């Protein structure tokens, strides 16, 4: 059960984080609804086989009333979803508040560098999390949607944190944009550290929760 709660919190986090990053403030994306819907889609692809992919207390209520979940499990699901949403809101406030003075192309101050690293870390985590769940887990074996899920994860990240970090989500991309003169050495270091860390943490979560189905997970 704990593993399912973690997955519900992660999915709700990325949904609410994308809402905040693409809607809040003067730099709101014109295609924010597309990004938000895509965020929900990729998280359902990633966690649906494990927790059901509700990411919404109203969905949990409906599923429970339908008889597909017990009331004893519904309460913790809702709490996990709200926790994910609150953490996401806090990070949006931090990032939005730390990047109003300078765009990602300019020389960032220390506060902005932290925000940039957080942005690239989060969506590299999301990308690897979706890759592992949609392309390597037993619960999604043989599917034909993994390419769509992976590609849309990158799109969501570009909408949500591209204006903050540049949106590499990939150390090789970081090297490439640096060679092309689109990023400086400081930004390259951010990409390398944040992106490798995001990938590693995603793998640790995937393995710790046995989302691949390699061993029996307690209900």
93's CB contacts (< 8 A; 6+ apart) are 20
Per the model's pLDDT, the better-predicted residue between 21 and 127 turns out to be 127
CATH number given to 2-208: 1.20.1080
CA 23 to chain centre: 16
pTM assigned to the model: 0.72
- The yes-or-no verdict on residue 47 having pLDDT over 50 is yes
> Comparing C-alpha atoms, which of 62, 55, 60, 63 is closest to residue 37?
55
Helices (H), the chain: 2-23, 32-51, 57-65, 71-98, 110-135, 146-165, 171-179, 185-208
Per the model's pLDDT, the better-predicted residue between 94 and 68 turns out to be 94
CA distance 128 to 114: 21
Task: Note the pLDDT of residue 215.
Answer: 67
N-terminal to C-terminal alpha carbon distance within the chain: 5
DSSP string of 143-166? -S-HHHHHHHHHHHHHHHHHHHH-
Task: Note the pLDDT of residue 101.
Answer: 43
Residues comprising the chain, all counted: 219
The beta-carbon contacts of 54-62 under 8 Å, at least 24 apart in sequence, are 54/8, 54/11, 54/81, 55/8, 55/11, 55/12, 55/15, 55/81, 55/84, 56/12, 56/81, 57/81, 57/82
pLDDT tens, residue by residue, 65-89:
677 788 898 889 988 988 888 888 8
Per the model's pLDDT, the better-predicted residue between 59 and 105 turns out to be 59
Q: Where are the domains of the chain?
A: 2-208
The model's confidence at residue 102, banded by pLDDT at 50, 70 and 90, is: very low
């Amino acid at each position: 059960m704990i593993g399912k709660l973690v997955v519900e919190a992660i999915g709700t986090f990325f949904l609410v984080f994308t809402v905040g990053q693409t809607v809040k403030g003067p730099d709101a994306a014109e295609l924010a609804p597309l990004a938000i819907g895509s965020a929900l889609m990729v998280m359902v692809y990633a966690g649906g086989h494990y927790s059901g992919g509700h990411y919404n207390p109203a969905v949990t209520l409906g599923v429970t009333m339908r008889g597909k979940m017990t009331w004893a499990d519904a309460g913790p699901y809702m709490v996990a979803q709200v926790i994910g949403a609150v953490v996401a809101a806090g990070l949006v406030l931090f990032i939005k508040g730390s990047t109003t003075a300078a765009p990602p192309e300019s020389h960032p101050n220390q506060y902005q560098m932290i925000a940039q690293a957080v942005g690239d870390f989060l969506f590299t985590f999301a990308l690897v999390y979706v890759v592992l769940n949609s392309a390597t887990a037993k619960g999604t074996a043989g599917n034909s949607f993994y390419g769509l899920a992976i590609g849309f994860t990158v799109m969501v990240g570009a909408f949500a944190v591209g204006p903050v970090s540049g949106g590499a989500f990939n150390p090789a991309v970081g090297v490439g944009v640096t060679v092309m003169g689109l990023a400086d050495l400081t930004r390259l270091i951010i990409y390398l550290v944040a992106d490798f860390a995001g990938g590693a943490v995603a793998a640790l979560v995937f393995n710790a929760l046995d989302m691949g189905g390699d061993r029996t997970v307690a209900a």
